[in-house]
């Protein structure tokens, strides 16, 4: 079988690694890919948002399955476009993808289906939003409605900060049309966890849980990032807690999908905030998370290609998801300056010396004239599946072999459990 993976990050590299272990998969393409994906797949120079060219490529190359990594092509309707051509694609269609593309739509879905979530209100202009601040205590959370490259959420500690944030969205229009609606939401004080699920025609099959680290510096200091480390599973996910999640959240999402007349197939990422053992849904993503995928998929023993095909065919069974009991941990190596300004194009050395027990996924790299160069804020994700302490030790030992100019990373991944 021939597979096309759309995207260019560590998430896509992890998906490709797992697909490459399938006996059913003969050839993998990645569009556009990176310096790591080309070791297991053939990189194709097509932007992940260029749906027409991706479609053309799939037809010309008789692709059996296309897997979409990032959210933007899903929100743009890539799945609908592929299906029109009878191409097989794994991911939710345009309508289902609105659960991620519009925070307002997501909140409405949660409330309509009685799924626990933070109290909120939606505003359409600056004046109303400023007036609405009085209905919430500080800190409060302000969210621009649309996909804002993951930068649309601000936690505001006082009125001045909140007014400033609303001004930047409504008046300075820093997110353009993605900020035409704004949600103000109550702040939930708890522990975050992520639960990614396979979904087959509205039926949800949870994967193992994960916890990612968002802050750039040790002990959770500094600005938010796309995620600079992760481990799986989250120790909060006992059997009892999993049952609670199933009863209070998953069952209700499945029912909601039916009521909203969805036919959801793909990945659903449930972002949770757990407050006094009660899980609340913060948001949905309609695709694999990054870096969660880099710790969850290495623990999957089953054939990822078969899971996806079975999900599309409505044949997936819970028992086909088999997991390595051992946990995993991964640390993201970033470019100095990230998440603010950083430089690209520095040579990466030492990867050939990495122990085979430790995996390295490429987030932002490219190969130029035989040299591997940094090509993003997040550069590499170094991980290991083993007993937790051993895994942590191995990952940090191996990282010492890797070098690029201004490389930075957190030293406390897996070692601290944030409340």
352 by Cβ neighbours in 10 Å (0-12 / 13-18 / 19+) ranks as: exposed
Interacting span for ligand ADP (CB under 6 A) from 89-97, 146-154, 293-301, 395-403:
146-154
Q: Which of 81, 93, 185, 208 binds ligand ADP (CB under 6 A)?
A: 185
* Token pair in block for residue 221: 């200091």
Residue 193: other Cβ atoms inside 10 A: 23
Q: Which of 32, 77, 116, 150 binds ligand ADP (CB under 6 A)?
A: 150
222 binds, among Mg ion, ligand ADP, none (CB under 5 to 8 A by kind): none
Min dist CB 352 to Mg ion, Å, is: 35
Q: Before 60, cis peptide (omega within 30)?
A: no
Min dist CB 283 to ligand ADP, Å, is: 4
Distance (Å, whole) CA 303 – CA 322: 9
Residue 28 or 144: the one with the smaller Cβ distance to ligand ADP is: 144
Distance (Å, whole) CA 71 – CA 49: 10
**Site size for Mg ion (CB under 5 A):** 1
Nearest to 291 by CA among 228, 241, 240, 345: 228
Distance (Å, whole) CA 416 – CA 419: 9
Q: Which of 141, 166, 295, 360 binds ligand ADP (CB under 6 A)?
A: 141
Interacting span for ligand ADP (CB under 6 A) from 77-85, 180-188, 249-257, 362-370:
180-188
* Token pair in block for residue 310: 């079975």
Query: Which residues lie closer than 8 Å to 289 by C-beta, 6 or more apart?
Result: 11, 194, 196, 210, 212, 227, 269
110 binds, among ligand ADP, Mg ion, none (CB under 5 to 8 A by kind): none
Residue 190 or 271: the one with the smaller Cβ distance to Mg ion is: 271
| Residues 264-303 interacting with Mg ion (rule: CB under 5 A) | 271
Binding mask 248-277 for ligand ADP (x = CB under 6 A): -----------------------x-x----
Does position 118 interact with ligand ADP (CB under 6 A)? The reply is yes
DSSP reduced 3-state for 87: coil
| Residues 294-313 interacting with ligand ADP (rule: CB under 6 A) | none
Query: Which residues lie closer than 8 Å to 395 by C-beta, 6 or more apart?
Result: 329, 330, 331, 358, 382, 383, 384, 413
Does position 116 interact with ligand ADP (CB under 6 A)? The reply is no
* Token pair in block for residue 160: 């001045």
Interacting span for Mg ion (CB under 5 A) from 60-68, 187-195, 263-271, 307-315:
263-271
Nearest to 361 by CA among 310, 307, 292: 292
Does position 192 interact with ligand ADP (CB under 6 A)? The reply is yes
Residue 11 or 17: the one with the smaller Cβ distance to ligand ADP is: 11
Our separate counts of H helices and E strands in the chain read: 13, 22
Q: Which of 283, 303, 310, 386 binds ligand ADP (CB under 6 A)?
A: 283
**Site size for ligand ADP (CB under 6 A):** 14
Min dist CB 16 to ligand ADP, Å, is: 24
Residue 73: other Cβ atoms inside 10 A: 26
185 binds, among ligand ADP, Mg ion, none (CB under 5 to 8 A by kind): ligand ADP
- Report yes or no: 408 and 340 within 8 Å, Cβ to Cβ: no
Partners of 268 in the beta sheet? 197
Does position 183 interact with ligand ADP (CB under 6 A)? The reply is no
Q: Which of 46, 162, 188, 245 binds ligand ADP (CB under 6 A)?
A: 188
| Token pair 């968002």: residue | 214
- Report yes or no: 398 and 354 within 8 Å, Cβ to Cβ: yes
Q: Which of 57, 187, 217, 246 binds ligand ADP (CB under 6 A)?
A: 187
Does position 281 interact with ligand ADP (CB under 6 A)? The reply is no
118 binds, among ligand ADP, Mg ion, none (CB under 5 to 8 A by kind): ligand ADP
Query: Which residues lie closer than 8 Å to 139 by C-beta, 6 or more apart?
Result: 155, 156, 157, 187
Residues that bind Mg ion (CB under 5 A): 271
Residues that bind ligand ADP (CB under 6 A): 118, 141, 150, 152-153, 155, 185, 187-188, 192, 271, 273, 282-283
């Amino acid at each position: 079988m021939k597979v096309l993976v759309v995207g260019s990050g560590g998430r896509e590299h992890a998906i490709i690694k797992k697909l490459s272990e399938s006996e059913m998969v003969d050839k993998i393409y990645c569009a556009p890919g990176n310096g790591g994906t080309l070791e297991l797949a053939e990189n194709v120079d097509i932007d992940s948002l260029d749906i027409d060219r991706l479609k053309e490529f799939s037809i010309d190359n008789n692709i059996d399955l296309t897997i979409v990594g990032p959210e933007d092509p899903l929100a743009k309707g890539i799945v609908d476009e592929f299906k029109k051509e009878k191409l097989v694609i794994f991911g939710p269609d345009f309508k289902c993808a609105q659960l991620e593309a519009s925070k307002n739509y997501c909140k409405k879905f949660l409330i309509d289906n009685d799924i626990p979530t933070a109290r909120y209100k939606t505003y359409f202009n600056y004046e109303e939003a400023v007036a609405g601040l009085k209905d919430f205590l500080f800190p409060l959370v302000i969210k621009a409605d649309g996909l804002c490259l993951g930068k649309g959420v601000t936690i505001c500690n006082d009125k001045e900060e909140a007014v400033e944030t609303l001004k930047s969205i409504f008046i300075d229009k820093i997110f353009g049309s993605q900020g035409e609606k704004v949600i103000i939401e109550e702040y939930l004080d708890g522990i975050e966890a992520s639960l990614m699920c396979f979904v087959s025609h509205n039926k949800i099959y949870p994967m193992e849980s994960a916890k990612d680290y968002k802050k750039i510096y040790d002990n959770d200091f500094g600005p938010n990032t796309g995620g600079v480390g992760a481990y799986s599973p989250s120790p909060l996910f006992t059997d009892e807690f999993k049952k609670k999640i199933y009863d209070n959240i998953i069952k209700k999402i499945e029912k909601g999908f039916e009521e909203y007349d969805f036919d959801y197939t793909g990945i659903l990422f449930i972002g949770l905030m757990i407050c006094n053992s009660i899980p609340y849904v913060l948001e949905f993503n309609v695709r694999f998370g990054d870096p969660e995928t880099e710790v969850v998929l290495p623990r999957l023993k089953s054939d990822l290609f078969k899971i996806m095909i079975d999900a599309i065919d409505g044949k997936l069974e819970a028992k086909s998801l088999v997991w390595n009991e051992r946990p995993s941990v991964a640390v993201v190596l970033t470019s100095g300056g990230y998440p603010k300004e950083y430089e690209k194009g520095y040579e990466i050395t030492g990867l050939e010396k990495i122990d085979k027990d430790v995996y390295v996924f490429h987030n932002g790299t490219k190969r130029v004239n035989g040299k591997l160069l940094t090509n993003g804020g997040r550069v590499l994700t170094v991980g290991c599946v083993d007993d937790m302490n051993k895994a942590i030790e191995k990952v940090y030992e191996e990282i010492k072999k890797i070098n690029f100019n201004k490389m930075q990373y957190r030293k406390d991944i897996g070692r601290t459990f944030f409340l």
